[in-house]
Structure 1
Amino acid sequence: MCIGIVGRVVEFDAAGPAVARTGTVDTVVGRRQVCFAFLPDAAVGDLVLVHSGYAIDRVDDADGDGGGR
């Protein structure tokens, strides 16, 4: 069984290559540093599903838990 957590994208790190950019996601368990290699077009404010440190999919607000706190 795999576990993912939903969170809202807060910011992206300025340094680093665009193909593997990282950023901060606010979740119900706190803020996490996440890699956006699988969602290169993610934007601040998006609700995303995070698994093993990677944002793997977008989530509609109606489907998620509200994204963080």
Structure 2
Amino acid sequence: MPKIPAPNHPNFHPDRDILSLAAMKADYQTLPDRAQAADWSRVDIAIALMVQEAENNFLAMETAIVLAAPKPH
């Protein structure tokens, strides 16, 4: 499996999240096949990926709520 490329932008670069997703895309796309080769069932894999996605969405919503919250006076 090829090595994931290292970041080539500073930590707070505005495109860093997009660049990190692009760097990991190939590994992420092969994850179900690799998990199945390790004897995880397709159902186990699907549930794990859905739980991870739900957690990511929850964290994104939580962050948006905090950022949109009014500042106390």
TM-score relative to the length of structure 1: 0.19
- Greater strand content: 1
Q: Which has the higher helix share?
A: 2
